Structure 1
Amino acid sequence: MSSADEQGEIFPTRLKLRRIDPERNMRRFYLMQVQPDLFGGASLIREWGRIGNRGRVLVEHHADEGEAATALLNMARAKGRRGYGS
C-alpha cells in the first residue's frame, strides 16, 4: 500500500450523507468532495438537497488539501449532530 492510499484513509476526500425521516417526509442528501485546483490549493465542493432532485452546489476554496479535508470533517461533524448519517 502506498503512502497516498494511506493518506486517503486518514483524510477522506469524498463523503455522502443522508437524512431520511418518513414521518416528516424528509429525504435529504449532503455530498462533500475535496478536489485540487489549478493554483496549488484545493476546493471543498458541497452539494445538498432532496434525494431524487438536483441539489444546490457551493464551492469553498482552501490553501491546501489538508485544510479542505479539515473543513470537510468539521462539516460532517456538524451534519452528524443534525441527524445525517452514511
Structure 2
Amino acid sequence: MLAQPYRLYFERTDTTKNMARFYVLSIEPTLFGTPCLTRRWGRIGSYGQAKEHHFVCEEDAVAMFLDLLRARRARGYRTRAEENAKDVD
C-alpha cells in the first residue's frame, strides 16, 4: 500500500517554436496493492501517450518518479505555479 499519493503535472511551452507539451507522472496502487508508475505525455489539449511501469516496492517506483522528474525539469518542463511565479518577477 502506498504511504502517500504521488501525482505531478507539468508543461513546456514555447510560442516561437509552436510548442505546447504536457507531462504527467503518478504512482497509484494496482488491484493487487503493488505500485504502478504511470506517465502520460503529449501536446496540450490531447490525451497523448501513456506508459505504465509496475514495481514490487514503493521505493523503486519513487526512485524512477524522481529520475523522470529531474530529466523533464532539465528539458524545461515546469509546473503551472512555477510559471506564474516566474511571470511575476
Answer yes or no: same fold by TM over 0.5: yes
**TM superposition score normalised by structure 2:** 0.79
Verify: 1:80 aligned to 2:84, yes or no: no
Deviating beyond 3 angstroms after TM superposition, the runs of 4 or more aligned structure 1 residues are none
Q: Deviation string for 1:25-82 (max 9, x for gaps)?
A: 0000000100112334210000000000111010001112221111111100001111
Hey, what's the Cα distance between the residues in 1 that align with 2:51 and 2:8? Answer: 15
Q: Between Structure 1 and Structure 2, how many residues are aligned? A: 78
Out of 19, 33, 54, the residue aligned to residue 61 of structure 1 is: 54
1:41 maps to amino acid: T
For 2:59 and 2:30, locate their aligned partners in 1 and report how far apart those are by CA, in whole Å. 13
Listed as ranges, the gaps of 5+ residues in structure 1 are: none
Shift of residue 22, structure 1, vs aligned partner: 0.5
Aligned-CA RMSD value = 1.7
Within the candidate set 31, 34, 49, 2:42 is matched to: 49
User: 1:30 aligned to 23, 27, 30, which one?
Assistant: 23
Identity of aligned residues (%): 40
